[in-house]
Amino acid sequence: MYIDSEKQQQGVPQGPVVPDADKPQTYCNVRAVVLLAGSVRSTNLRRATERFVMDLPLDSQKTILDSWHDHLDDLAYELGLDHLPARVMVNQASDRPTDTNRTGPAEVQFQQDPLDFRGTGGLVSDVAKEYDDDDYLIVATANQVLFTPLPRLFEAMAAKKADVCLLSDRDSRPRGITLIRCGVLRDIASVGFVDLNEQALPEIAKHNRVKVCRYDQPAGMAIRTRQTYLDAVRIHHERMNGKCRLTGCEPDEDWSATFSIIEPGASVDPSAVVHDSVVLAGGRVEANAVLVRSIVGSRGWIGAGESVVDRIESSGGSRRRRA
């Protein structure tokens, strides 16, 4: 049973959970979580917001990185661990996401990839060299918002008792979370590009137990574009308000405003309408402007009376168009 870190922060007594004797040995052998935050190409969302995806807000109190902290703390308590390393891997040329001074059993460590263009398989193989053959890593895409608690997802994957277990949805689409035993990574080449799913796993499957865990409820949503980010934020707010059905990953089809996020340091006139949109610190929205399903970046500027729909304003674009 997973532990809710938010309840713990509110003072609800909750001690570490000691794994039951009938649970898979995997519970005792998880050594780290590896969050893959690097990418070969910079996305339009990253360029326009000038933010790492993990630094984007989910609500007025929490970023995507904060959400990961909560899930990782809950997983550590589920495993009965006082300390769980979570290694966020970013590109060599990238700055790291903004750290948060969080307390809890999960220790988030930001690390730059030791080599450029190593590929996910090569990167995870390099990390696994620090651990024993029977140790397990949880490897996940960092740029996603989880809708299902990570301990629940781990429990489903661990029950497969496999060397490698990939999480998928009911339609067999991968969900960006893999449980993998370090020993199966030893044969991956120590140099060169190796993709985990397309190159390494077919070879691993020839001699090891590779299974797929199909999870009926949506595990989460990958954040790649303006639309997927705002959809994830909307679902997050619907869940906070008890309105979201977890049978699918689509937000409710209505036009009532679900959220408006205005970061400290943003300037938004009280007469402006911010509908299912995000204004980042430094952004400016003038009087009687209307913002719908859009993002205003740190240098974005929406002029008085303007309407912006389904767009990212990154550097005063609206003001220049008006001129």
Taking Cα atoms as reference points, which of 251, 230, 316 lies closest to residue 53? 230
Helices (H), ranges, 21-118: 26-29, 44-49, 64-79
Nearest to 217 by CA among 235, 237, 194: 235
3-state secondary structure of 294: coil
Confidence of residue 15 (pLDDT cuts 50, 70, 90): very low
Res 98 pLDDT > 80: no
Q: Is the pLDDT of residue 257 over 70?
A: no
Helix H or strand E encompassing 177: strand 174-181
Determine the Cα–Cα distance for residues 319 and 109; give it in Å rounded to an integer: 40
Give the N- to C-terminal CA distance of the chain in Å, as an integer: 59
Distance CA 323, CA 317 (A): 10
Phi, psi at 157, each rounded to 5°: -70, -40
Q: Which residue has the higher pLDDT, 264 or 42?
A: 264
CB half-sphere exposure, 55, CA atoms < 13 A: 16
Q: What does the pLDDT read at residue 216?
A: 82
Beta bridge partners of 200: none
Global pTM reads 0.85
Across 38-52, average pLDDT:
80
- Residue 39, helix vs strand vs coil: coil
- Residues 61-78: tens digit of each pLDDT: 999 999 999 999 999 999
Instruction: Tell me the three state secondary structure of residue 187.
Output: coil
Please give the pLDDT value at position 23: 60
Amino acid sitting at position 293: R
What is the DSSP secondary-structure string of 245-267?
-TT-SPPPS--S---EEE-TT-E
Secondary structure class of 223 (helix, strand, coil): coil
* Segment among 33-37, 150-154, 238-242, 286-290 with least mean pLDDT: 238-242
The pLDDT of residue 115 is above 90: no
Task: Evaluate if residue 87 carries a pLDDT over 50.
Answer: yes
What's the pLDDT at 63?
95
Report CA dihedral (145, 151, 155, 158) to the nearest 10 degrees.
80
